[in-house]
Amino acid sequence: MPSSYRAIFAPSGTWEFSAAGLIGRLPLAMTSIGVVTMISQLTGRYGLAGAVSATMAMSAAALGPQISRLVDRHGQRRVLRPTTLITVVSIAGLLLCAQQGAPDWTLFVFAVGTGCMPSVGAMVRARWAAIHRGRPRELHTAYSWESIVDEVCFIFGPIISIGLSTVWFPEAGPLLAAAFLVVGVLWLTAQRATEPVPGPSEHHTAGSALRSPGLRVLVATFVATGTIFGAVDVVTVAFAEEQGHKTAASLVLAVYALGSCTAGVVFGLLHLKGPAPRRWLVGVCAMAVSMIPLQLAGNLPFLAVALFVAGLSVAPTMVTTMALVEAHVPRTKLTEGMTWTSTGLAVGVALGSSAAGWVVDAAGAEAGYGVPVVAGAAAAVVAFLGYRRLRVPVPILGGRGADDQDPHTHDDQERVA
C-alpha cells in the first residue's frame, strides 16, 4: 500500500472502523435493486417494483438527514442501533408481504420504514474527520479511500444482490443486505474509541445544517449529479437490451464505477495545490462534459470506454465535496452535512431514473443519453452560480469559528483539501 494510505491508518482502530463501514455500506447498493428484482420475480410487475423502490429512496431522503442530526447530538452508538433495528424489521416485513402476496399497500408501508437505514458512509467519514482534524493532507487521502470503498460497494453490491435473488430465491438479495447492515453497524458502534464525541448541548444550535449557504450549493449540485447517475443506469440497461446483450449492462456499468475507483486511488496519492472550490468546479464541469460522448455510442465496447473515461471525474469530485462540507458546516453538524449530500444524490438518482425511463419509452435508448447531458449542464450551471459561496468557509454559530479553528487550517484546506 502506498505510504499516503498507510499514513492514514497509523492511528489505532482506523482499519477496524473502515472495514465495518464497508460491510455496513453494502446494503445501500444492494437493497433497492434487490427489492426490484424480488418483486419483479414474484409478481412480474415491474411498475410495482419501481414504485416501491422509489418510495424507499424518497423515505431515505427524508429521514436520513434527521437520523444523522440525532447522531451529531447523541453519538453514533445511541442512534444507529435502534434505527438499524427499525430498518431490519421493515425489510423483513417487506420481504414477508411480497412472499405471501399481501396487498400492495403493505409493501409501501414497510418501504417507508427502510428509510431509517443510517448513512454509514457519513458515520465513517465523521470518524476520519475527528481523527485527522487539522491535518488536511491526511484527511484528503482518507476521503479518497472512502470514495474507493463506495465504488467497490456499488460495483459488487448490485451483482451480489441480483445474483442471489435470481439464482437462489427471490428474497435472498435483500435478506443478505439486511444481514450486512446488522453486522456492519454492530461492529462499527462497538468501536467506542474512535467514535466522535458529541459536542456540548449548548453548541447544538437549532435548525438544520442546510443553514449553511455553501452546503446548499453542494446539495443542489448533487441533485443534478445524482440525476446523471440515475439516468446513465437506466439508459445503459435499455441500450444493452437494444443491442441484444441485456446481461452485459451490469458489466458496462461496473466499468463506469471502475473508472471512478481508479481515479480515487490516484487522487488520494496527490498533494494538490490551489483552492478546493476551484477544483470542485472543474470536477463538476468535467463530469458534465464527459456525458457528451455517450451520444455517439453505437455499440457496447465504445460505450464501456466512454463510461470508463466519464468515471474518472467522479471520485475526485466526490472527495473534494466532502472536504468542502467539512469546511462549510459546524463541527457539531458534520455528520448531518455529509448525509445531506448523499440525500441530494438519492433524490437525483430517483429523478434521473424516472426521466430516462420516460425518454427511452418515447424515443429509444440512444435518445435517453440526452438526459444525463442535460443534467450535467444543470450541475455545471448550479456550480458556477454557487461558486462564490464556496470560496470562503462561513463560520456558523455552534460550530467552527475563529476561536475554534487553527489559523493555518483554512490555508491548508485551500491548498490540499
Q: Are residues 158 and 274 in the same domain?
A: no
Shared domain for 179 and 259, answered yes or no, is: no
% the chain with pLDDT above 90 = 24
Has residue 163 been placed in a domain? Answer: yes
- Which span out of 61-70, 203-212, 269-278, 280-289 was modeled with the highest average pLDDT? 280-289
Of the residues 146, 161, 190, the one at which a domain ends: 190
Residues 162 and 14 in one domain: yes
pTM to 2 decimal places: 0.76
Q: Domain check: are 248 and 357 in the same one?
A: yes
Note whether 123 and 15 are same-domain residues: yes
Distances (CA, A) of 87 to 78, 143, 399: 15, 27, 31
Who wins on pLDDT, 91 or 195? 91
In this predicted model, which residue has the larger pLDDT, 276 or 190? Answer: 190
Domains held by the chain: number? 2
CATH at residue 409:
1.20.1250.20
Answer yes or no: is pLDDT of 400 > 80.
Answer: no
Q: Say which residue, 167 or 115, is predicted with more confidence.
A: 115
Co-location of 172 and 233 in the same domain: no
Cell 424489521 belongs to: 89
Which of 41-55, 78-92, 209-223 has the lowest average pLDDT? 41-55
Q: Is 195 inside any structural domain?
A: no
Q: Which domain holds residue 159?
A: 1-190
In a domain, 200, yes or no: no
Domain boundary among 164, 190, 216: 190
Question: Is the domain of 186 the same as that of 212?
Answer: no
Q: Given a cut of 50, is residue 397 above it in pLDDT? A: no
Query: Quick one: 349 and 214 in the same domain?
Result: yes
Which residues, at least 6 apart from 51, have a Cβ–Cβ distance to it below 8 Å?
108
76 and 28: one domain? Answer: yes
The dihedral built from the CA positions of residue 276, 277, 282 and 285, taken in this order, carries a sign that is positive
Q: Residue 97: its pLDDT value, please? A: 92
The answer on 374 and 235 residing in a single domain is yes
Separation between Cα atoms, residue 259 and residue 271, nearest integer Å = 20
Helices (H) then strands (E): counts for the chain: 17, 0
Does residue 197 lie within any of the structural domains?
no
Amino acid symbol at 187:
W
Question: What residues have CB less than 8 Å from 128, skipping those under 6 apart?
Answer: 8, 14, 139, 142, 143, 146
SS3 content of the chain, % helix, strand, coil (to 5): 80, 0, 20
pLDDT at 194 over 50: yes
Is 122 within the bounds of a domain? yes
pLDDT at 178: 93
318 and 236 in a common domain: yes
Same domain, 154 and 251: no
Q: Which of 240, 246, 254, 276 is nearest to 137 (CA)?
A: 276
Range 241-254 average pLDDT? 78
Cα–Cα distance between 147 and 124 in angstroms, integer? 11
More confident residue, 235 or 395: 235
